[in-house]
Structure 1
């Protein structure tokens, strides 16, 4: 039986130039948000064992790292804080002299064009490692939201461009928006961790942020991995309450969710290529099981192809250099 070769898709795959010419999805360093962990001290770079290439850094080192990332073309960062003091209420989260607040001011002074995003949650600041006020083993929603507003305000006052609530408490986006507006921070944007799943892929992050729960887990407020329609309802609520950007977390196991969110709402959408996703590629690459640079780029392009406008990734500098 003769072949019908009228259409030969391979014609456009023959050379690198042709493949680039018809490429549908493009990655650029400006689409990456680089997560950084700020700790107390000076001259501190403490490597994180489960995340090769990632470290906890003091403010001076963070400023240097942001400068290096800018040189690679990465112009946005996401800051997580590791305080010197923790208590049951996470009271240091809103301390004007806390690590995140100090880092925001230092980055703003040294690199004024950098887009500074700050994580808003209490898990790094509480002695029990949970995302809010705990009473009788239960994370309390409403008292937690009040503290999150205080934390977000302290970040905005330090100079953050975007605050990113990651706690998954009900109503926190509206409360933070109201709090920011009332304090005159009408231009501070909110990037909501809108569809954040109770995932096994956060393990290495909890070492990096020193936020492993002392008891229980976070399934009372993070989403069930089995649920998709619920994610759309959650995102809709956050948009109605004033979110300027929304996020899906993790990324690769939830590309279907990412696609639905972007297709349904059209709002600027981020995806978090989380610590477990990063560490798996790192480990497999170190063992020679996969080609790490190719796997890195394939992962990131798939996230972009699924609809992400911005990708939060520990690979930000590595990928930018490849690009």
Structure 2
């Protein structure tokens, strides 16, 4: 229940009162916008726009019709829908495949705007109460695989699936938030679930990942780091599933299958190139900042890798550009040792 005094003061123009009302929801709204947009930068913009719109429209908030949290989610969701509509109108970038050495990457329907989400920003957001109809664990609903799948759905289906199955809002609530009928919500949800199920079938047979921070997860992560830093391609390949895929946003392709991934790793680690890996966590998954050792001993950032685990093996590696490192508190370079 919103404090009547705080609400009255905020409506009278008290910015501190508004911040006290709305800021407690900022972190969960950021996660929500990230799920919808797949981009941390775009999510931050959407949250800023949401807070500004809420501040300007506070006089129109009626607590008897919806809670403040629901009202903020309504604004945020519609901001994200607008952002996705605008993004769909951008010109498609042409990629020059001739710049790639053998093996050529595998074309795949991957969201080129995908960015990783720091686990540090999940603190507090995952503790928010979910509605009774939520179907996903919060850790599963922030994984790279899940967020990637969301980006491939039509924008209305994304909104409905997140609001219903991730956050657990009732169908009638979602209908009001999107200004559509309950029948429209149920139809969009049915189609979204079917699309996700088809995508899940494509990776059927994978074991569940070990629990975050568990000895099983720590063991495979440590083995990967040792193999990468020592340029032991055979040890790396032994960690991979047969259908492993390396994605490389913002490029809409990667390398699929153990053989092609092995050749990619061999090229990265060949010619005497040596790396140091600094551990991090993104999307509830183990990750590393990768630093190439220079001739002067200084180590320069070359990328950010997020691992997707299946049992005791790696079924996916997503390589992001080094520009994301500051989000994880990682520097662009490391001094010589």
Superposition TM-score tier, normalisation by shorter sequence: under 0.3
RCO comparison, higher one (Cα < 8 Å, 6+): 1
**TM-score (structure 2 length as normaliser):** 0.27
- Structure with the higher helix share, 1 or 2: 2
Larger Rg: 2
